[in-house]
Amino acid sequence: MPAGDSELLQKWRDGDKPSGNELFRRHFRSIRRFFRNKVPPDDVEDLIQRTFAGCVEGRDRFRGDASFRTFLFAVARRQLFKFLRDRASRERRVDPDFGVSSIHALGKTPSSLLAKRQDHELLLQALQRVSVEHQTMLELFYWEQLPGSEIAQVLSIAEATVRTRLFRGRAAVEKAFRELATGHVKPDPDFDIEEALRKLGDGV
């Protein structure tokens, strides 16, 4: 029977490199997708490495009361926020408020949009125009299928708050999508934001 994530993490911390490689293999795609639509392409791999290193360093904080995947996304979120704050500092900008500021507003958005259809490309751009917190929550919910209870742990908020913010986040993305489509392309009247968000992660 394959070892569980927490067992592999402990072995990796104790110096067993194959266990670390197995953890990396299991979760690489999800963590790569987490960063892919939030940072420039050249920074994605470095942030993935920092996230996995942060998991080892923070092993004592992982008590096993949540899934390792939840713990991993919480570490990835901290690495993302540190990256964005450091970039703002280098560029002499004010410290960003991730509950308000969007990836697009923070500058230097990812340039590689992999969606095949134009409406999906616009949807990726729309995600970059809502707050970082809303973008992160929507991607965890639709792309990673995390339940509300685990999203609450990743974002350090109440589970009831997740439902409210998901509703507001979807509305914000739809508004941004319609604004981007105006004068650019006539959106499909049957285009379903929720369905598109679910499918979008497969190409990121």
In sequence order, the 6+-apart residues with CB closer than 8 A to the CB of 191 are: 119
User: 131 pairs with which residues across the strands?
Assistant: 102
Answering whether pTM is above 0.85, one says no
Per-residue pLDDT reduced to its tens digit, 121-158 = 888 889 999 999 999 999 999 999 999 999 999 999 99
Report which of residues 143 and 64 the model is more confident about: 143
pLDDT of residue 131: 94
Residue type at 170 in one-letter notation: R
Q: How many residues does the chain have?
A: 204
Average confidence (pLDDT) over 17-31:
89
**How many Cα atoms sit within 13 Å of 117 on the Cβ side?**
10
**Residue reference for tokens 């990835």:** 76
pLDDT of residue 158: 93
Residue type at 155 in one-letter notation: L
Question: How many C-beta atoms lie closer than 10 Å to residue 44's C-beta?
Answer: 20
Per-domain boundaries in the chain = 5-203
pLDDT of residue 16: 87
Predicted confidence (pLDDT) at residue 110 exceeds the cutoff of 70: no
pLDDT of residue 116: 43
Report which of residues 47 and 118 the model is more confident about: 47
DSSP codes of every residue in 137-189: HHHHHHTS---HHHHHHHHTS-HHHHHHHHHHHHHHHHHHHHHHHTTT----T
Distance separating alpha carbons of residues 117 and 23, to the nearest angstrom = 33
| Domain 5-203 of CATH type 1.10.1740.10 | yes
In b/e form, how buried is each residue of 140-158, taking b as 16+ CB within 10 angstroms? bbbbbebebebbbbbbeee
